[in-house]
Structures are given as C-alpha cells and as structure tokens.
C-alpha cells in the first residue's frame, strides 16, 4: 500500500498532503536554521563525507559506503565510519564496534561495513558523539557517515546522494504522502550523485563502483582521492 501511495498509483496520497506540507516546512526551517547560524553544527577536526539520500527506504547507500571506504583504504587513507545504528539497541552510546558486536546492538548495516572493510565503525543517535568516539580511539584522516544527509548537527565537507534508479522520487512529495525527505532541488547543492539501478539517462555514464550493483555516476565537483578542506 505504501509503495502504491508513494508512486502515485493510489489516490490516497492526496489525503496526506497536509501532513506532507507540515513535514516539508519543518525540514526547511531546520536546514535554514543551520545555514543562517541560528543553530550550530559541530565540525570534526578531520573531513567528513556524508553518503545519504533524499527518500525514505533503502537506496543502496551501504554498498556505496563500503566501496568508498575501500577506495580510500587502497590510497592509504585512514578512514572511519559512523552511523545512526538503525535496528540496533546498545546499552549505551556512542558504541564503537568490535568483532564481537552484534547486529542487535549496532544494527545490520554498521556490522556489515565493519566486517567487509575492517574500518573502525561507531554508532550513535548523535553522530557527532560517534565521530568523537572514533577519533579518541583511532588516528583517522577522514570520516564517512552512512546516511545522515538531513542530520545537520554534524557539519560535512562533502555530500554524496544515492538514488534508487527504478523508484527514483516516486510522486515527488514529502513524507508521508510521498517518499521525499527533501525536495529533488537539494541535488543542486550536493557534490556527487549516484543512481543505483535503472537505465542511464542522456549525459550520464554507467559505472561499476560496487560489484553486483548497476550504478550511474553523474559529474561531480569532487575527487575523493584528493579530498581536502579549503
């Protein structure tokens, strides 16, 4: 039912429009408050790269995070990963993962990232706390955050958005009438966009960043191998 509503196939999405307008207004005010300095974002002493999305649901962020971490590691860059830890419940936060950390504690995706890459991983509802925990335990040069595009409490140096190439933006409306966390125009301010699956559109090139995933990479103003602050 939710898929039909979000795709526009079911007319029920119209009944949810008042809530969607409210969601969009609150989201816009939150982002604007950080842009204008009304609220202060915490900035880590090392560069932070956010891999996130504009829609609710899985879009393939975690495989992209794994690929990105592996690419940085191959270049000799010491990288750590932070996550909200959805699906897990730890006794206390922040939680720095070990080989014994279970998915019940940290969630499926953080455990998978740690197992696949061997990179230090920490989870916390407040991602800045997770970053601080990693930096206190490891000598890292860069932090990658799995999800968190809308978590403006953590300042970021680069933003990468992953889009589901099949579902894309559904009916284009904010939650709950549609799948959008932010409007599609938000893509104009990010550094890179990766479309997972679907057919490459004119002006976009097919790439194989993640084994088993069909990705389309759009031109971006960032080269991850040369990431630096200005």
107 is in an annotated binding site: no
223 is in an annotated binding site: no
Residue 112 phi, psi (nearest 5)? -60, -45
> CA–CA separation, 140 vs 47, rounded Å?
10
197 is in an annotated binding site: no
Tokens matching residue 39: 């609220």
Report the run of H or E that residue 20 belongs to, with start and end: helix 17-35
> CA–CA separation, 226 vs 158, rounded Å?
12
Q: Could you tell me the strand order of the sheet in which 205-207 lies?
A: 95-96, 121-123, 79-83, 142-146, 48-52, 158-164, 192-196, 215-217, 205-207
171 is in an annotated binding site: no
155 is in an annotated binding site: no
57 is in an annotated binding site: yes
- Residue 131's CB is within 10 A of a number of other CB atoms, namely 25
55 is in an annotated binding site: yes
Binding site for ATP, by residue number, is: 55-62
Q: Annotated binding site: which residue ranges?
A: 55-62
């Amino acid at each position: 039912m939710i898929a039909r509503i979000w795709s526009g196939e079911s007319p029920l999405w119209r009944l949810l429009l008042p809530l969607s307008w409210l969601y969009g207004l609150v989201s816009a005010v939150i982002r604007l408050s950080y842009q204008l300095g009304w609220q202060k974002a915490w900035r880590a002493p090392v560069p932070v790269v956010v891999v996130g999305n504009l829609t609710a649901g899985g879009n393939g962020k975690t495989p992209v995070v794994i690929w990105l971490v592996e690419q940085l590691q191959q270049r000799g860059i010491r990288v750590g990963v932070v996550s909200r830890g959805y699906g897990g419940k730890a006794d206390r936060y922040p939680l720095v993962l070990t080989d014994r950390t279970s998915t019940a504690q940290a969630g499926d995706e953080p455990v998978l990232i740690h197992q696949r890459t061997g990179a230090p991983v920490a989870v916390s509802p407040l991602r800045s706390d997770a970053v601080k925990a990693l930096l206190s335990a490891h000598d890292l040069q860069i932090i990658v955050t799995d999800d968190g595009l809308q978590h403006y409490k953590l300042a970021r140096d680069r933003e990468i958005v992953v889009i589901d190439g099949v579902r894309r933006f559904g009916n284009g409306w904010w939650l709950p009438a549609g799948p959008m966390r932010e409007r599609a125009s938000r893509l104009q301010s990010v550094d890179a966009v990766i479309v997972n699956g679907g057919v490459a559109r004119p002006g976009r090139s097919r790439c194989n960043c993640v084994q088993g995933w069909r990705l389309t990479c759009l031109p971006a103003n960032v080269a991850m191998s040369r990431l630096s602050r200005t």
